[in-house]
């Protein structure tokens, strides 16, 4: 449209530039008014219309950007002068309500299931411990009850781990603040001191730099505890653990068995390459979910029995 207008104007000025009768001049000016003025008006109208449409689109995007599935506040879209946008907003509102309803139902189910499982497990564990104190039990019965108790404890730990994963995925940890990872690392090592001594492990820390990050304090402690516990549990007797803290990175390096599978696969749920009964195959997947939740990256490298787990902040 604009190109045609320009060509028409150029043609008219070409005609007016030569000797022309009064009639030709009037005809030229008439066509100039007939073509140029509507073209310019259309151009400005088109720009104004596009500006209004873009404003409506950005308004919808802003509402979606501030949408929080955990917030009970209802989502509201402003009435638009364009019926297409009103239809789009109605559809988005229906979709948001549906998603929020399913999310709340899933969260409620997880909470109820966890509570209902934890109660009978505690009852079973309590009765087994009482039976083990009985003097009438023979060696065979004690062994059988010991196996039942061991598996009950395993189920209880599994239930707790799955609850934790669910809480992480549903963003239930809101205690965000600046946390000192050096201090948390030393606190966790102190808690695991008995296990470290039992396995005769040599622990060395290299933390010349004070590392502080913005994240949930609870998740920071869980993350470091799982990394160190993994290094202890899957280590060799008289093995070693080296913890390196440097700018934007925390590494836990330990001796251990040679892996037969790709290290990255062990970051998935219920994946493990060990016969250790205490291992649920969830420790590293919990660390992975915490990293995803906090915007960090987790890397697992292995070479000739040396395992390196690195968290980059």
82 versus 34: which is more confidently predicted?
82
CATH 3.20.20.140 fits 177-312, yes or no: no
Question: Which is more confident, 52 or 302?
Answer: 302
The bridge status of strand 212-216 relative to strand 176-180 is antiparallel
Reference 113, options 147, 79, 77, 162; nearest CA is 162
The token pair at 274 is: 């060990």
Give the C-alpha distances (Å, rounded to integers) separating 202 from 62, 195, 239, 242, 310.
Answer: 54, 12, 6, 8, 20
Place of tokens 């998935």: 268
Provide the token pair at 55: 């404003």
Quick one: pLDDT at residue 33?
A: 67
Distance CA 28, CA 11 (A): 9
Residue 122: what pLDDT?
82
> Which range is most confident: 96-100, 121-125, 135-139?
96-100
Name which of 175, 244, 249 is nearest 216 in CA terms.
175
The H-assigned helical ranges of the chain are: 2-16, 22-65, 83-132, 139-169, 181-191, 193-198, 217-233, 283-294
Cβ–Cβ under 8 Å, residues 140 and 174: no
Residue 28 has pLDDT above 90, yes or no: no
Phi then psi for 153, rounded to 5 degrees? -60, -40
Distance CA 283, CA 288 (A): 9
Copy the structure tokens of residue 173.
């940890």
Residue 171 zone, left/alpha/beta (φ > 0; ψ -120 to 50; rest): left
Indicate the domain borders of the chain: 2-65, 177-312
Phi and psi at residue 102, in whole multiples of 5°? -65, -35
* Both tokens assigned to 287: 């660390």
Tokens of 232: 């202890």
Using alpha carbons only, give the angle 288, 294, 295 rounded to the nearest 5 degrees: 85
Say whether pLDDT at 311 is over 60: yes
Q: Predicted confidence band at 154 (pLDDT cuts at 50, 70, 90)?
A: confident
Q: What integer best gives the mean pLDDT of the chain?
A: 79
Q: Where does residue 172 fall: left (phi above 0), alpha (psi -120 to 50 degrees), or beta otherwise?
A: alpha
Residue 32 confidence (pLDDT): 65
Among residues 151, 127, 128, which one has the least CA distance to residue 277?
Answer: 151
- How long, in residues, is the chain? 313
More confident site: 289 or 12:
289
pLDDT for 170 equals 67
Least confident of 35-39, 47-51, 179-183: 35-39
CA geometry: angle 211, 285, 216, nearest 5 deg: 40
Residue 2 clears pLDDT 50, i.e. is over it: no
Beta strands 297-303 and 249-255, pairing class: unpaired
Asked whether the predicted pLDDT for residue 237 surpasses 90, the reply is no
The answer to whether residue 116 scores a pLDDT higher than 80 is no
Q: Report residue 105: phi and psi, to 5°.
A: -65, -40
Name the pLDDT band for 31 (thresholds 50, 70, 90).
low
């Amino acid at each position: 449209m604009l190109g045609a207008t320009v060509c028409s104007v150029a043609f008219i000025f070409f005609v007016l530039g030569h000797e022309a009768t009064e009639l030709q001049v009037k005809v030229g000016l008439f066509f100039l008014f007939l073509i140029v003025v509507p073209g310019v008006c259309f151009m400005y109208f088109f720009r104004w219309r596009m500006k209004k449409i873009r404003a409506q689109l950005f308004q919808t995007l802003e509402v979606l950007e501030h949408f929080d599935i955990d917030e009970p506040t209802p989502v509201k879209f402003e009435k638009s002068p364009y019926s297409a946008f009103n239809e789009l907003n109605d559809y988005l509102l229906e979709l948001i309500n549906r998603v929020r309803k399913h999310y709340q139902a899933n969260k409620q189910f997880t909470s109820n299931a966890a509570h209902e499982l934890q109660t009978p497990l505690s009852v079973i564990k309590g009765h087994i411990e009482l039976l083990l104190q009985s003097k009438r039990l023979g060696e065979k019965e004690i062994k059988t009850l010991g196996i039942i108790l061991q598996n009950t404890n395993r189920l209880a730990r599994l239930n707790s781990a799955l609850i934790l994963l669910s809480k992480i995925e549903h963003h239930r940890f809101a205690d965000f603040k600046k946390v000192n990872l050096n201090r948390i690392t030393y606190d966790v090592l102190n808690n695991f001191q008995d296990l470290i001594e039992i396995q005769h492990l040599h622990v060395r820390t290299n933390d010349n730099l004070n590392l502080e990050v913005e994240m949930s304090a609870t998740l920071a402690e869980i993350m470091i505890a799982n990394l160190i516990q993994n290094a202890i549990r899957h280590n060799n007797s008289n093995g070693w653990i080296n913890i390196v803290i440097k700018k934007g990175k925390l590494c836990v390096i330990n001796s251990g068995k040679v892996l037969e599978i790709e290290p990255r696969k062990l970051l998935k749920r219920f994946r493990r390459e060990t016969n250790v009964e205490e291992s649920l195959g969830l420790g590293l997947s919990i660390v992975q979910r915490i990293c995803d939740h906090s915007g960090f990256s987790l890397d697992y490298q292995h070479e000739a029995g040396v395992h390196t787990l690195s968290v980059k902040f």
